[in-house]
Structure 1
Amino acid sequence: MVAFVLIALVSAVTATALAYRASRTAVLERKQDAVRNDFKYRVEQAAADFDVPANEVSLTRFATGIADGLGGHAVVVAQYRSRTASSHASADRTRITPALREAVRTRNRMSLQRVDWHGSPYLVVGTPVTFDSAAPSGLDVFAITSLRAEREDTAGVLDAVRDGIVPVVLLATVLALLAAGTVLRPVRELGRASRRHAAGDLTSRVKVRGHDELADLARDFNKTAQALEASVAELREQDARAKRFVADVSHELRTPLTAMTMVATILDEDAETLPPDTAHAARTVSAETSRLTRLVDDLIEMSRFDSGAARLNLTATDLAEAVRATLSLRGWSDQAHCQLPDGIRELVDRRRIDVIVANLVGNALRHGAEPVTLTLAIDPAGDWVTIEVADQGPGLPPEVLAHVFDRFYKADTARTRSEGSGLGTAIALENARLHGGTIDAVNGLHGGAVFTLRLPRRPACEEEQ
C-alpha cells in the first residue's frame, strides 16, 4: 500500500512539474512574441520620422513615442553612440545587461533576455535601428517590460495543480487499501491455514473465491492439504497397527517364555552332570532364553509408553541412596566413582530411576572405559536435579550421537547380535520424559561420552502438600 501511494505521489508531483513547466514556457513565449512583434512595429514607425545624427532631445522624444505605443509600464531606452535617453527619466537602466548590449551590437538583429531585478522578473528586448540603406545607423533601442503578471499566472497554475495532489494521494490511498485487501486477504487466509497445518490441524482449508491466480493457488493448497491429510492418516494407522502388533506379539510370547525360562533354569542348574556337548547346549539355551525374555520385557515396556498406559508411582526418595542401591544390586559399586551428596530428596518413581541409571551406567561400562563417574547435583537456579554419567572411552562419533536414543539403533552396524535389545536408551529417555525431564548425550571435553539425566525439582515436602 505504501509503495502504491508513493508511486501515485511521485506521479502527481512529476505531472505537476511538467504541467508547470509547459504552462510557464507557453505563457512566456506568448508574451515574448507579442512584445517582440509590437516592439518591432513601433520601432519601424518611429524610425521613419527620426533623423540622425540625433541629440538627447530627439532621443528622448523617440523613446517616449515607442513607449507610449507599447503601453503599460514599458520603459524604452534609446542609445545613439555615446548618448542615451529613456522614456522615463527615473528608470533604472542597469536592467539592460552588458551581454544584451553586446549581442545587439554584434549580431545586428533583435535579441531578448529575461532578467530578475530586485526580486521581479523583466523581459528586455533590444534591436538596432536601420534605415533604407539597411546599414547600421548606430542607434540601438531597448524595451523593458515587466513579467510580473505572467509569473502570477503560472504561479496560479502551479498552486491549482499542487492543491490537486492531496485529493489524488487520498484517492490513491483508498484504492491501495481496496487493492491490498483484495490481494492480501486470500494470502492471509493461506498463511493462517498453513500455520494450523504446522500445528497439526490437517483439516484446515481455505475458501476459494473467483477464478484468478489466487483462486488457483487456494485450490492447489486445498488439494495438497487433502492429500497430506490422507497420507498422514494412513501413516498413523500403519504406525498404530505396528505398535499394536508388537504389543500383542510381546504379550503372546510371555506365557511360553515363562515355561521356557523354568526349563532352561533347571537345565542350567544340572549342566554340571550332563555330557560336555549337552551342557554347552543347555547353557546356550538358558542364555538365549534370558536374552529373549529381556527383549520381550523391553518391547512390552515400550508398548506401554506408546499406548500412554505408563504411569508414575511417585515416592519420596533420597536420590543418592537410590543410585547407590542400583550400583550395588548389579555389582558395579567398585567400577564407578560417585559424587552423590546426601539430602537430595525428590518425588520420583524409584523403579524407573533405577532403570534409567542402570541403563546409562551399563552402557558406559560396556562401550566406554573405566572409571565411570556419577555426579548428582542441583542446577544453580534450583529448578532441576541432574545425574551425570561419564566414562573415559573414545566417545561417540557424530553420526552415532544423533541416533543414540533411537529404537533398535546400534552403533556397530556389522553386529547382528549383541547383549542388548537396542531399546535401552530409548526406554531410559521415555522414563525421563514421563518424569517431565530429559536425557542429553554429548562427548566430554577430555574424551568419553557424557549422559546427563535432567529431572524437574519435586521436593519431598510436596508429598505432604
Structure 2
Amino acid sequence: MTWLRGLRARLVITFVLVGGLSAVGAAGLTYFKARDNLLSGVQDRLLDDFRNRVLLLSRDVPLPADDNELELLAEDLEVGDREVYVVRDGGIPSDARITAELRRTVSGREELAWQRVTRDGVPYLVGGSRVMFRAGGQPSGITVYLVESLAQAADDEAAVLRAAQAAAVPVVLLAVLAGLLAARGVLRPVADLDRAARRLGEGRLETRLPVRGGDELARLAGRFNETAAALEHSVGELREMEARSRRFVADVSHELRTPLAAATAVTDVLETGADRLDPDAGAAARLVTAEVARLAKLVDDLMEISRFDAGAAVLNLNHVDAGAAVAACLRSRGWTDAVDAYLPPGIRLPVDPRRLDVIVANLVGNALRHGAPPVTVRLRADAATVTVEVADHGPGLPADVLPHVFERFYKADAARARSEGSGLGLAIARENALLHGGDITVAPGPGAAFTFTLPRCRP
C-alpha cells in the first residue's frame, strides 16, 4: 500500500494546487481588472474635465497674455485639490512632479499628454497640453499643466484589493475541498483495484470488483473481472488436472507395491543363488535384482511425494541428540569411512527421527554419487536452530542449475538418461525439512555445499 499512499498524496497535492491556483488566479485577475477599470475611469474623467475647461476658458485670454492673465487662467482652471500651472511655451513649471519627460512630450504634440507620478507614497495624475485656440488651430504660445492627486483612487484600489483577498480565502478553501473530494473519487477505485489485485495474488481467485459508471476506471474494473474469471477458470482446470495426476501417481504406486514385493522376494532368491549359476545367468540375476530394487525405491519415493502433495505427511516428533542421529544414519549405510564427520554431542532438538534420517541419507548419498572426496558433514547449533552442512570437493554445480536442484526428476546433465537414484531424493529431503519448519539451501562450488536448518523449538 506504500505506492498507493504516495499516489494519494500526489493526487491530493495536484488537485489542491490546481484548485487553489485557479481560485487565486481568478481573484487576481478580478482585482487587476477592477483596479484598471477604476483607475482608467478616474483618469479619463479628470483628463476630459481638464481638456474641456482649457478649451472653454482659454478663449477669453487676450494675446499676447501677460503674467497676470496667465495667473488668472490658472486660477480659473483649478478645481478642488487640482493644481494648475500656466506657462509660456518652453517654460518650466515650478512643480517638481511635472517631469522633464512629460514636458518634452507636451512640446512635441498638440494633444493632451499625461503620466502617473508618485511622491512620498501619494500617486498623482500629471498632464499637460499646449493651448490651441487661434483660427486654423494655431498654437497660442501658452502651455498648461495639471497635477491632481489620485489618493482617493488609491484608497478605492486598496479597498478592492482587500475585497479580493477576503473573497479569495473562502474560494481557495472551497477549491481545496473540491480537490480533496476529486482526489478521493479518483483514488477510491484505484484503492479497490489494489486490494483486489493483492487478494488475487494471494490466491483468492473469486475476487471481483464492482463496476460503476462508464469511465476508464469502470472499464478497467470490468477488464479486471474478466481477467480474474479467466484466471480462476484456468487455475481450476490446472488444479483438477494436478489432482488427477497426483491420484494417478498414488494409485499406480500403491498398485505396484504388491507385485514389487513378490518380485523382490524372487530376486532375493535369485541373487542368493547367482554364484551357482553360469556367468551369464548370474549376471542377469544380479541385474534384475538391482533393477527391481531401483524400481522399489522409485515407488517408495513416489508414494512419499504423493503424501506431501496430499498434505497427508505427519511428524512423529521425539527429542533426539542430533549428532547421534546423523552418526547412526552414516553407520547404517556403511558411509562412516567415506565421510569426514564433525558431530558434537549434546545438541538436542525435536524431530521425526525417520525423516531426519531421510534428509541426511539423501544429501550424503547425493554427495557420494555426484561429488568427489572428501565428503564432509558438519553439525553446529545456536540458540534457535541446528544446522547440518554436507559438502563435497567435486566440480560443484553450475549457476544455472542451482535454482532447479530441488525440482522433481531434474537432471543437471540432460544427456544422462538414467541415474542410480529416483530423481526425487533432494525434493523429498527439502519437503521433510520444510515439514519440520526448516529448509535446505545449496551454495555454488568449488564443490557442492548443501545446508539444512531445523528449529530447536517447535512453535
Scaled by the length of structure 1, what TM-score is found? 0.89
Q: Which amino acid in structure 2 is aligned with residue 294 of structure 1?
A: K
Secondary structure of 2:442 counterpart: strand
Could you say which residue in structure 1 is the equivalent of 2:6? none
Quote how far apart the aligned CAs of 1:289 are: 0.7
- Indicate the larger mover: 28-37 or 362-371: 28-37
Q: 2: CA distance between counterparts of 1:440 and 1:173? A: 55
Q: 1: CA distance between counterparts of 2:110 and 2:183? A: 65
Match of 1:307 among 310, 316, 323: 310
Secondary structure of 2:411 counterpart: coil
Could you say which residue in structure 2 is the equivalent of 1:262? 265
**Structure 2 residue 420 is matched with structure 1 residue 413:** no
Q: Which amino acid in structure 1 is aligned with residue 81 of structure 2?
A: H
RMSD: 2.3
Could you say which residue in structure 1 is the equivalent of 2:158? 155
Match of 2:81 among 73, 77, 80: 73
Q: Relative to structure 1, is the Cα distance of residues 109 and 222 closer, same or farther in structure 2, using a 3 angstrom cutoff?
A: closer
Could you say which residue in structure 2 is the equivalent of 1:88? none
Q: 2: CA distance between counterparts of 1:248 and 1:35? A: 110
Quote how far apart the aligned CAs of 1:424 are: 0.2
Quote how far apart the aligned CAs of 1:30 are: 2.7
**Structure 2 residue 61 is matched with structure 1 residue 59:** no
Q: 1: CA distance between counterparts of 2:334 and 2:184? A: 73
Q: 1: CA distance between counterparts of 2:90 and 2:284? A: 144
Q: Relative to structure 1, is the Cα distance of residues 208 and 334 closer, same or farther in structure 2, using a 3 angstrom cutoff?
A: same
Q: Which amino acid in structure 1 is aligned with residue 280 of structure 2?
A: D
Quote how far apart the aligned CAs of 1:108 are: 4.9
Could you say which residue in structure 1 is the equivalent of 2:225? 222
Q: Which amino acid in structure 1 is aligned with residue 453 of structure 2?
A: R
Contact 2:134–2:140, Cα closer than 8 Å, also in 1: no
**Post-superposition CA distance 1:282-326 (Å, at most 9, x none):** 111111011111111111111221222222222222211222222
Q: 2: CA distance between counterparts of 1:84 and 1:257? A: 131
Quote how far apart the aligned CAs of 1:141 are: 1.4
Contact 2:371–2:395, Cα closer than 8 Å, also in 1: yes
**Post-superposition CA distance 1:121-165 (Å, at most 9, x none):** 110011123452655554321111111222233333333333222
Q: 1: CA distance between counterparts of 2:386 and 2:366? A: 21
Contact 1:251–1:300, Cα closer than 8 Å, also in 2: yes
Paired residues in the alignment total 447
Paired residues for 1:40-189 under 5 Å: 40-51=51-62, 54-67=65-78, 71-80=79-88, 93-132=95-134, 134-189=137-192
**Post-superposition CA distance 1:244-284 (Å, at most 9, x none):** 11111111111111111111011111111111211111111
Q: 1: CA distance between counterparts of 2:186 and 2:27? A: 31
Could you say which residue in structure 2 is the equivalent of 1:392? 393
Q: Relative to structure 1, is the Cα distance of residues 288 and 268 closer, same or farther in structure 2, using a 3 angstrom cutoff?
A: same
Quote how far apart the aligned CAs of 1:228 are: 1.7
Paired residues for 1:281-296 under 5 Å: 281-296=284-299
**Post-superposition CA distance 1:171-201 (Å, at most 9, x none):** 3344444444444333333322222211221
Quote how far apart the aligned CAs of 1:396 are: 0.6
Contact 1:16–1:158, Cα closer than 8 Å, also in 2: no
Contact 1:265–1:286, Cα closer than 8 Å, also in 2: yes
Paired residues for 1:350-365 under 5 Å: 350-365=353-368
Q: Relative to structure 1, is the Cα distance of residues 304 and 131 closer, same or farther in structure 2, using a 3 angstrom cutoff?
A: closer
Q: Which amino acid in structure 1 is aligned with residue 449 of structure 2?
A: V
Q: 2: CA distance between counterparts of 1:141 and 1:212? A: 70
Quote how far apart the aligned CAs of 1:377 are: 1.1
Match of 1:238 among 226, 238, 241: 241
Contact 2:385–2:454, Cα closer than 8 Å, also in 1: yes
Scaled by the length of structure 2, what TM-score is found? 0.90
Q: 2: CA distance between counterparts of 1:50 and 1:348? A: 127
Could you say which residue in structure 1 is the equivalent of 2:378? 375
Q: Which amino acid in structure 1 is aligned with residue 447 of structure 2?
A: G
Secondary structure of 1:125 counterpart: strand
Could you say which residue in structure 2 is the equivalent of 1:434? 435
- Indicate the larger mover: 143-152 or 131-140: 131-140
Mark the runs of 5 or more structure 2 residues left unpaired by the alignment. Answer: 1-11
Could you say which residue in structure 1 is the equivalent of 2:9? none
Q: Relative to structure 1, is the Cα distance of residues 370 and 144 closer, same or farther in structure 2, using a 3 angstrom cutoff?
A: same
Quote how far apart the aligned CAs of 1:231 are: 1.8
Q: 2: CA distance between counterparts of 1:77 and 1:7? A: 53
